[in-house]
Amino acid sequence: SELVSGFNIEYATGPFTLFFIAEYINIIMINALTTTIFLGTLYSIYSPELFTTCFATKTLLLTSLFYESKHLLSTSPLS
């Protein structure tokens, strides 16, 4: 079971927490970069706060899509 768990067994609580948080922060940052490069921005010149709303919405949608696909692929039998 130690070979399967990876860094869950190898590190104590503090370093494991940092690795765990860093993994999810990297996922969110990659989705923000993907939003910036590929999805573009649609906002009006007269309402600049709409830029932040559109950007956050697109990033959260990509992040939730990534998490859902990660969950579905990890629970499905691929034998």
- Who contacts 41 (Cβ-Cβ below 8 Å, separation ≥6)? 51, 54, 55
- Higher pLDDT: 21 or 48? It is 21
- Please tell me the distance from the alpha carbon of residue 37 to that of residue 54, in angstroms, as a whole number: 14
- Output the pTM of the full model: 0.71
Please compute, for residue 13, the number of CA atoms within 13 A of its CA located in the half-sphere on the CB side: 0
- Higher pLDDT: 46 or 56? It is 56
pLDDT of residue 20: 84
Domain limits at 53? 2-75
Count how many domains the chain has. Answer: 1
Look up residue 41 and give its DSSP letter: -
pLDDT, tens digit, 9 for 90 and up, residues 1-47: 555 556 566 667 778 788 889 889 999 999 999 999 998 766 677 78
Kindly indicate the confidence band of residue 74, based on its pLDDT and cuts at 50, 70 and 90. Answer: confident
